Amino acid sequence: MTILIGAATAAHQIEGNNTNSDFWVLENIENTTYKEPSLDAVDHYNRYKEDITLLKQAGLNAFRFSIEWARIQPNKDAVDLKEIEHYRDVLKYCQSCGITPVVTLHHFSSPKWLISEGGWEDRKTIGYFKKYAGIVMEHLGEYIPYVCTINEANMGVQLNRIIEEFRKQARKMSEKQNDVQVGVNLQHNKRELGAIEASEIFGVAPDKMATFLYPRSEEGQKVIFESHTEARNVIKKFDPNIKVGLTLSLYDYQTVGEYSSLADNLWQEDYGQYLPYLAEDDFIGVQNYTRKLIEGGEILDVPDTAIKTEMGNEFYPHSLANVCRKVSETWHKEILITENGVSSSDDSLREKHIEVVMDDLKAILEAGIPVTGYLHWSLLDNFEWQLGFAQKFGLIEVDRETMERKPKNSLWLLGRLGATLNEQLEEAVTT
């Protein structure tokens, strides 16, 4: 038995110059809420061979990356064969390096024309996504063993909760009548102005600008999951041996003290309600970064005594194994860990994270939990959406002036521990 051990990325965050995407629009308007635009990102589009070679040199055997829909279909009725050829080259280079590609069809960013057509709240998107999946299969399917159709398909539900919590906090701050409310109101005004500005470019009303990272209605959730099932059907028709799934953002919910139903309710919202849509999938992609503690029916703030990542999350590597155990209670097929990592400028914290995670991974595999791969987020320090380039998730540092790649110790550590784990798994099978 050999499992996939590697790293994950997303096209918009690393490739650069994704000019036909909705996020490019949102980054470059006057009233943007992004700290900075992506621009050249880290130029992976031109340097993919260098990056994949570093994966190989570290002893890793898998690379998760996304194909950018906005490149493949810059217009609704167009197919850019030059971009198809680019991704074919990436896939073939993975193959030549002995790296298994895990391809994501949609990782947050969408073609800007899709948003003009109603985006992820409009049922037309189901047909558009099905067509896109068919284009990818027709031209590239022979090189793709794993497909994640949609990244973090449950993100809209989690965003709804975050927005509601923000509103509660804003109301509390407004009641206090202190200086903090000014900052909140200014930010709110900027969001409103940005929404109006972007909506004019997309040609839709501000409240109808349904990008993927947009508060999700019940109907919008159906659009996402029906898009997934239609794409899966297209992929399986092309080649039933291609493994298909999607990824979910999952927290390790832990109750402190007396039992609270909130933990069960949140797990149902994040995971359980989607299982009927996933019944025909080959794997589920688990994405986890931390835990959330619940007491008295409320989610607690991260304790002051806890080690925090630069994203503000509690540093708690054991959360991944806990989530895999929880998923395995109701999911008995492949579990592919498609994202897990830590934002830190101190690579020693990332090394500690990897050491704990790999020990935990060995333990859950020995317990019979069907994990078939671990893909660390992220291969490169990249563009972290609205937060810009400040967050450091990468196994490889990038000098954004020269684009020089500087592998961190954590890259080599993951390669060594991954190789050791696979050797131990092979020995267990033979004995």
Say how far apart CA 38 and CA 237 lie, in whole Å.
Answer: 36
Give the CA distances from residue 397 to residues 72, 313, 389, 408, in Å, rounded to whole numbers and listed in that order: 29, 21, 11, 7
Peptide bond between residue 345 and the one before it cis (omega within 30 degrees of 0): no
Query: Which residues touch 167 (CB under 8 Å, ≥6 apart)?
Result: none
pLDDT at res. 177 = 39
Contacts 24+ apart (CB under 8 A), 407-412: 407/54, 407/58, 408/347, 408/350, 409/347, 409/348, 409/351, 410/347, 410/350, 410/351, 410/354, 411/54, 411/58, 412/58
Whether 385 shows a pLDDT value over 80: the answer reads yes
Average the pLDDT over 399-416 and give the result: 98
Say how far apart CA 243 and CA 336 lie, in whole Å.
Answer: 11
**What is the pTM (predicted TM-score) of this model?**
0.95
Q: Give φ, ψ of 15 to 5 degrees.
A: -75, -45
pLDDT at res. 85 = 98
Whether 363 shows a pLDDT value over 70: the answer reads yes
Q: What stretches of 103-154 show up as alpha helix (H) in DSSP?
A: 112-116, 124-140
Residue 214: pLDDT band by 50, 70, 90 thresholds? confident
Whether 156 shows a pLDDT value over 70: the answer reads yes
Say how far apart CA 358 and CA 320 lie, in whole Å.
Answer: 10
Whether 188 shows a pLDDT value over 70: the answer reads no
Q: What kind of fold does domain 4-252+267-289+311-430 have according to CATH?
A: TIM Barrel (3.20.20)
Say how far apart CA 187 and CA 98 lie, in whole Å.
Answer: 48
User: Pairing mode, if any, of strands 396-398 and 405-407?
Assistant: antiparallel
Residue 211: pLDDT band by 50, 70, 90 thresholds? very high
Residue 190: pLDDT band by 50, 70, 90 thresholds? confident
Cα atoms in the 13 Å half-sphere on the side-chain side of 29: 22
Whether 183 shows a pLDDT value over 50: the answer reads no
Whether 264 shows a pLDDT value over 90: the answer reads yes
Say how far apart CA 221 and CA 233 lie, in whole Å.
Answer: 19
Q: Could you tell me if residue 177 is left (phi over 0), alpha (psi between -120 and 50 degrees) or otherwise beta?
A: left
Tokens 């909760």 belong to 161
Domain extents in the chain: 4-252+267-289+311-430
Average the pLDDT over 374-390 and give the result: 97
- By the 10 Å C-beta count (0-12 exposed, 13-18 middle, 19+ buried), 159 is classed as middle
Least confident of 83-87, 154-158, 220-224, 225-229: 154-158
Whether 167 shows a pLDDT value over 70: the answer reads no
Say how far apart CA 198 and CA 212 lie, in whole Å.
Answer: 15
- By the 10 Å C-beta count (0-12 exposed, 13-18 middle, 19+ buried), 31 is classed as middle
Kindly state the helix (H) or strand (E) to which residue 82 belongs, with its residue range.
helix 81-96
Average the pLDDT over 131-146 and give the result: 98
Least confident of 178-182, 220-224, 240-244: 178-182
Q: Under a CB-based contact definition with an 8 Å cutoff, are residues 124 and 176 in contact?
A: no
Whether 79 shows a pLDDT value over 70: the answer reads yes
pLDDT at res. 182 = 27
Say how far apart CA 4 and CA 102 lie, in whole Å.
Answer: 10
pLDDT at res. 119 = 98
Average the pLDDT over 80-85 and give the result: 98
Say how far apart CA 87 and CA 7 lie, in whole Å.
Answer: 18
Residue 354 CA, chain-centre distance (Å), reads 18
**66 vs 156: which has the higher pLDDT:** 66
Say how far apart CA 387 and CA 16 lie, in whole Å.
Answer: 16
